[in-house]
Amino acid sequence: MKLFDVYPINNISIVKARGSYIWDDQGLQYLDMYGGHAVISIGHTHPHFVKRITDQLNKVAFYSNSVIIPIQQELAEKLGKVSGKEDYRLFLCNSGAEANENAMKLASFHTGRKKIIAFRKSFHGRTSLAVAATDNPVIVAPVNQTDNIIFLPFNDETSLEACFRAQGKEIAAVIIEGIQGVGGINVAKESFLQKIRTLCTEHESVFIADSVQCGYGRSGKFFSHDYADVDADIYSLAKGMGNGFPVAGIVIAPHLQPKHGMLGTTFGGNPLACAAALAVLEVIESEQLMRNAKTVGDYLQSELKKISVLQNVRGKGLMIGFDVPEELKDLRKNLLFNQHVFTGEAKPNTIRLLPSLALSKKDADEFLESIREEIHNMVSTSNLVDQT
């Protein structure tokens, strides 16, 4: 049997990882400025993370949600404390797509409505309703297509207000990333998030804050939506929640009531997943990683803005994007193979940085040195003026 070929693969085989670094089977060391799509939140193979999972594995790895699993409540309490949402409730699942599926399903149950507002360049997952709310027709199969999703321009208050005026009684929810990830690190304006909150309250719709990539402290606050000083009704979580162990969830406001059977999962909330998620929260708290994400992220943005060939440097905390001119379209590939630095992309020419929240200033300086060197090498063979 062979693997189903759906991923563009770099010819690199990773055999070891620690902190912000990874090593391949040839012994080459790489600086990881991408964290496997924002998954590595506390650093690769953090000792506390490894111990938490190992200890749990030696007790019990799995049983179904038909019995009491005390570590689930332990996780809920810690998550409430660290996130500041102690009066919310937690439903655990396995992936970001599943979290968003459950969030939209719960909103529809709560309101009795079908319509969901999503935004241009959004990415909410690859499963049925999550992908229908994702603005990428290439990955939406015919069976996923539905008239229940309304796509509006991102950060456009006028269009949002007009939609609610016309269809407010049909709208179950608005789903929005506080910072669009796959869409290119597009930051939601604080006033726009506040407008969503106001309109959802007025029309009794559900505000879903997709925090799969931009949550868990990555922005410098636990939820990037917190910068707008608003409370969403549901927050979806995944990616950095387990530092590489598959775990996800939705954090649900107290006015949304549960009923037996309305949501469910086999593997969600298993003891190993909860141990991984607890380890992440404990390290975020003890090592003050949200503060570090803001401090190092602000420094990175400031220094990147001094490299004048880079365009539109943007983001919050350690969720950073910038555009490169067409002449530097191979910069990401060159950083990987010439400088041994992993970064991410958003087409056509955006580079995304999503490193561990424990990234040090020293690590950041290493990246900055690498990108300056690679740009210098590239512009010397192009028609760009060397302005780095």
Going by C-alpha positions, the residue among 123, 42, 133, 95 that lies closest to residue 250 is 95
pLDDT > 80? residue 383: no
Q: Which of 286, 305, 334 is the last residue of a domain?
A: 286
**Cα 235 from Cα 100, distance rounded (Å):** 9
The average pLDDT across 45-50 equals 98
pLDDT > 70? residue 297: yes
**Cα 22 from Cα 362, distance rounded (Å):** 16
pLDDT > 50? residue 388: no
The average pLDDT across 204-218 equals 98
Contacts of 373 (CB under 8 A, 6+ apart): 339
Burial class (CB in 10 A: 0-12, 13-18, 19+), 295: middle
Q: What is the pLDDT of residue 386?
A: 45
Q: What is the pLDDT of residue 380?
A: 80
Q: Give the torsion sign (CA, 97, 183, 363, 328).
A: positive
Mean pLDDT, the chain, integer: 96
pLDDT > 80? residue 117: yes
pLDDT in tens, 240-266: 999 999 999 999 999 999 999 999 999
Q: Which of 286, 318, 337 is the last residue of a domain?
A: 286
Domain match, 294 and 222 both: no
In angstroms, the Cα distances linking 100 to 169, 186, 250 are 22, 19, 8
Domain match, 271 and 293 both: no
Burial class (CB in 10 A: 0-12, 13-18, 19+), 243: buried
Residue 385 maps to a domain = no
Token duo for residue 172: 């179950």
The average pLDDT across 5-11 equals 94
Domain match, 263 and 339 both: no
Domain match, 330 and 368 both: yes
Q: Over the chain, what HEC string results? A: CCCCCCCCCCCCCEEEEEECEEEECCCCEEEECCHHHHCCCCCECCHHHHHHHHHHHCCCCCCCCCCCCHHHHHHHHHHHHHHCCCCCEEEEECCHHHHHHHHHHHHHHHHCCCEEEEECCCCCCCCHHHHHCCCCHHHCCHHHCCCCEEEECCCCHHHHHHHHHHHHHHEEEEEEECEECCCCCEECCHHHHHHHHHHHHHHCCEEEEECCCCECCCCCCCEHHHHHCCCCCEEEECHHHCCCCCCEEEEECCCCCCCCCCCCCCCCCCHHHHHHHHHHHHHHHHCCHHHHHHHHHHHHHHHHCCCCCCEEEEEECCEEEEECCHHHCCHHHHHHHHCCEECEEECCCEEEECCCCCCCHHHHHHHHHHHHHHHHHHHCCCCCCCCC
pLDDT > 80? residue 83: yes
The average pLDDT across 6-11 equals 94
Token duo for residue 348: 């056509």
Domain match, 72 and 213 both: yes
Residue 369 maps to a domain = yes
pLDDT in tens, 60-80: 999 999 999 999 999 999 999
Which CATH number characterizes residue 321's domain? 3.90.1150.10
Residues of the domain holding 372: 14-42+288-379
Residue 370 maps to a domain = yes
pLDDT > 50? residue 186: yes
Domain match, 262 and 324 both: no
Which amino acid type is present at position 180?
Answer: Q
The average pLDDT across 223-231 equals 98
Residue 386 maps to a domain = no
Total domains, the chain = 2
Q: What is the pLDDT of residue 332?
A: 97
Domain match, 364 and 235 both: no
Q: Which of 270, 286, 302 is the last residue of a domain?
A: 286
Percent of the chain with pLDDT over 90: 97
Domain match, 208 and 99 both: yes
The average pLDDT across 370-378 equals 96
